[in-house]
Structure formats: structure tokens, C-alpha cells
Structure 1
């Protein structure tokens, strides 16, 4: 098995800065935004993006976590981690622009599950998707609005996102 690093710490920081600017531009400012990270690393990325948006726009953006574990359609085939808490910011998501944040977009099934979970929580004005890595191989018609890095990969490769807060180091690698 070989591993190669495709994003280093500075690359990740640059990608998140660009995503933050694109979110602000697309939304015409920070008003009515809510960022919801998909555990585990999506929550970390959502918090980082929120900090950057606040730095650039001068206004805080609510951040929460949206666990999609029990909404997945592949639980019977793929053992998954224990459910994490869902934390919706005060004020909820009704009438807000929700940006879902995830680390890697692959088949689109996690995002489909997130959309189902959102329906149980409220009715946002719009839902956008930000992902650090888009590796292709979609099984569902889901496309990110904000992407850090498009990373074409084969189905037998594994993309690993490691962040300081959860893994003690900062990188994106591909294992083949």
C-alpha cells in the first residue's frame, strides 16, 4: 500500500480561506447563514470556516453539528460509528441559508442523509454544500457549491483527511 500527501497544512488553510470567501460572496454577506458540520471532521471544518467568515465579514455565523448516522441508507451494509449529537444553533434553521460542511464528498449518500435529517429539524430558505475534497464517484445527483480541492481518484483508493483538532496533524492523503 502506498500513501501520498495531496494537501498539506498550508493547502488546507488556503482552501478554507477560499471557501469562506466564496460562501460570503454567494450569500452577499454573513446574514442569515448557518453552518452545519457533518461529524466528525465536517464539524471542525465548519468551525474553522465560521471563524474565517467572521474575520472577513466582521459578524459571527452560527455553527452546529448535524449527525446523519441514523438517516443513512447503507447502515445494513456498512458498520458505522456511534451517533454523535446533533447541535442546532439557537434560532434554528427556518428561513436561513444552511451550508452543510463535510470533509470528503464521494458517493453523495452522507449528504442525502443530511438533507433527510434537515427535514426533521426545520425548513431552510436554501441548502448549500461545502466540502474540503470532492473525489467524484457520485451515486446520487449531488454536487458541492464550494470545494477546496477536486481530487479524482479510483474507487479502490482511500482519501484520508486529518485535522489537528481530531488527529494531531494536518493533511489530506490518498492510499492506494
Structure 2
């Protein structure tokens, strides 16, 4: 499947501004950073979480624990995937029990990725609270999941794809709406 760029939703500068706002909202909502752990959902959520953590360190002087969460084996569509699933690492720096976890991901769509992440977290302990930070909410929810911290809402058609590019993986920071091109 090939994707064709349809619109630029965020530039690198937009992404930086949004991540700074999300970081400030995290501080305000939690009245500081006490007992917080920042967790990025594999793949791009990990890089966004690291950036938020860096912003929090710069603004508050607090080095928060961070972790990476792979939800592959918790997906509800694992049996129907045609390819072998690619499992990434899960790395949580400490016991999550009683802590406030800020889950970070790039795009919120149906809510199924977040459902899987919550299930994975419960296997690791019982957090005091889980908050959700999302760069782009594209709608079309199938589960009752909403972000606590949101970069931007982007209305999309179900046939469209929201592509988040991060410089660590893709060589650039941009968010695009793309259309699937039929190659038949």
C-alpha cells in the first residue's frame, strides 16, 4: 500500500509548540511532578515521551522516570494480522504501583491501542492513576477513550491515514494526512 500526501497538519515547529503545551498541562494537572512516570507507547510514542520528559526537565529541573511500553501482544486483532507481529521492548524503570503514569502516543483513532496499553499496564502493577497524552486525535472512536492532554484534533475520513513523522525514526518532524493509493 502506497500513501499519497494530502495535507500537512503539523510542521516541526508546530510539534515542538504542542509538546511544550502538553508538558505544561501535565505540570498543572498534577500540581507538580511528584510520583509521575512518563511512558511512551512503542514506536513513535516513545520518542514523543522522551521529548516531553526533556521539556519537563528543562522547565522544572526534575528528571522523571521514563519507560517504553509495547502493546503488540495485547492487541485484539493479533489473530487476524497477516504478517508476523513485530514485538518491541517494554521497559519500565520502577514499580508502577501507586504512581501516576502518563501514557504518550502519537495518534488516537479507535481507542484500541490505548485499551491494549491499559491491559499491559495492569499486568505490571496497579498505578494510582493513568493519564493519556496524544499528539493527534483523529476521531472515529470505537471505545470510550479520551486523552487528558491533546495536541490537536484533526477530523479525518476513515479511509485516510494520519502519518506522524519523528526525526529520530523518519529524519523529519511532520504530521500529514495521507490517502491510500490503489495500486491495482
Interval of TM-score (by shorter of Structure 1 and Structure 2): over 0.9
- Decide which of 100, 113, 119 is 1:116's aligned counterpart: 119
Tell me the matched-pair count.
175
**Aligned twin of 1:14:** 17
- Decide which of 14, 31, 35 is 1:32's aligned counterpart: 35
| TM-score normalised by the chain length of structure 1 | 0.96
**Aligned twin of 1:151:** 154
Q: Is contact 2:136–2:154 with CA below 8 Å preserved after alignment?
A: yes
Q: Structure 1, unaligned stretches of length 5 or more? A: none
**Aligned twin of 1:127:** 130
Q: Deviation string for 1:34-89 (max 9, x for gaps)?
A: 01100100000000000111111111111100100000101122346411010001
Q: Deviation string for 1:108-127 (max 9, x for gaps)?
A: 00000000000110111000
- Decide which of 58, 73, 76 is 1:55's aligned counterpart: 58
* Cα distance between partner residues in 2 of 1:78 and 1:4: 29
Structure 1 stretches of at least 4 aligned residues deviating more than 3 Å after TM superposition: 78-81
Structure 2 SS opposite 1:115? helix
Q: Structure 2, unaligned stretches of length 5 or more? A: 180-184
* Cα distance between partner residues in 2 of 1:100 and 1:78: 25
* Cα distance between partner residues in 2 of 1:8 and 1:79: 33
Q: Is contact 2:5–2:176 with CA below 8 Å preserved after alignment?
A: no
Q: Deviation string for 1:117-142 (max 9, x for gaps)?
A: 00110111000000100001000000
> How large is the Cα RMSD of the aligned pairs?
1.1
1:172 pairs with 2:182: no
**Aligned twin of 1:88:** 92
Structure 1 SS opposite 2:58? helix
* Cα distance between partner residues in 2 of 1:78 and 1:105: 20
**Which protein is bigger by CA-based radius of gyration?**
2
Offset at residue 2 of structure 1 (A): 4.5
| TM-score normalised by the chain length of structure 2 | 0.92
Structure 2 SS opposite 1:92? coil
